């Protein structure tokens, strides 16, 4: 019903920047919130950032001040601008969408994942 396609991952040095994109298609009227989770090997999945239909944003404490989530409603796309990247940010980042995208409750729709590696 909803397809999420991610792009923008890659390898970057500490202190560098990346911008992730997530384009939604299908029954997008069912989406209230979109956001990004990440998962590193041996660690639990965590919410990175989310944005609701009304524009409310939520960030993990570890990325506040460095990451910015935004949306382009005309393109049905959300972005995650990641600045001042740290090695601890290395993970697979998954776009997520649905009625709720929170630290405890994920939406029903997932992107394919994109690798972000921060290394010298």
What tens digit of pLDDT does each residue of 20-70 get? 999 999 998 889 999 999 999 999 999 999 999 989 999 999 999 999 999
Residue with tokens 């939406």: 107
Residue 35, number of CB atoms within 10 A of its CB: 27
Tokens of 18: 């990346």
Model confidence band, residue 18 (pLDDT cutoffs 50, 70, 90):
very high
Tokens of 109: 């729709």
Tokens of 28: 């997008």
Residue 97 confidence (pLDDT) above 90: yes
Tokens of 53: 């239909």
Element at 83 (helix H, strand E): none
Residue 74 confidence (pLDDT) above 90: no
Spatial distance between the Cα atoms of 57 and 68, rounded to a whole number of angstroms: 9
Tokens of 103: 């630290």
Element at 96 (helix H, strand E): strand 91-98
């Amino acid at each position: 019903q909803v397809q999420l396609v991610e792009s923008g991952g890659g390898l970057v040095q500490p202190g560098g920047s990346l911008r992730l994109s997530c384009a939604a298609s299908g029954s997008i009227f069912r989406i209230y919130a979109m956001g990004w989770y990440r998962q590193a090997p041996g660690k639990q999945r965590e919410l990175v950032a989310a944005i609701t239909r009304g524009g409310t944003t939520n960030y993990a404490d570890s990325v506040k001040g460095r990451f910015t989530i935004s949306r382009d409603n005309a393109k049905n796309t959300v972005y995650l601008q990641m600045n001042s990247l740290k090695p601890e940010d290395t993970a697979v980042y998954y776009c997520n969408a649905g009625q709720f995208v929170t630290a405890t409750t994920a939406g029903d729709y997932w992107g394919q994942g994109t690798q972000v590696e921060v290394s010298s």
